[in-house]
Amino acid sequence: MEEKTVIVRRINPFSLLISRISSLIWLVIGLIMLLLAVRIVFLLLGVANTGFVTWIYQTSDFFVAPFVGIFPSTTYNGSFFDAAALIALALFGVLGIVISSILSFFGRD
């Protein structure tokens, strides 16, 4: 009869915690980025300010506010290009990568 070798790998609880925190941070960053992307698309398409659209604009204003005025935003035929929202979208992506990298550095076995 053939013997089978079983390899047991112990999971470091600290590494597991870091992994869960990283996942939670990516969830939050991902939701913020989705909100910003929807804002950009709605403004580009010139969507009418209804309840949901107004909620998107008001909620995303908090994340866009620090970047307003860095680059000019332009309007053309009812479409609005929100440069501040695009900058915020890119920087939140970079922020997610940086935070995730720092956490993975500390979470190594």
Note the pLDDT tens digit of each residue in 75-107: 888 888 999 999 999 999 999 999 999 988 877
DSSP-H helix ranges across 1-109: 13-45, 51-64, 83-106
The closest alpha carbon to 21, from 86, 85, 107, belongs to 107
Residue 95 lies in a domain: yes
CA–CA separation, 26 and 96 (whole Å): 6
Could you give the CA distance from residue 27 to residue 87 in angstroms, rounded to a whole number?
20
HSE toward the beta carbon, residue 20, CA cutoff 13 A? 6
Domain housing 39: 19-106
Q: How many domains does the chain have?
A: 1
Give residue-wise pLDDT tens across range 46-81.
888 899 999 999 999 999 999 998 888 888 888 889
Residue 6 lies inside a defined structural domain of this protein: no
- Residue 59 domain flag: yes
Query: Which residue bears the tokens 């440069």?
Result: 83
Within a domain: residue 12? Answer: no
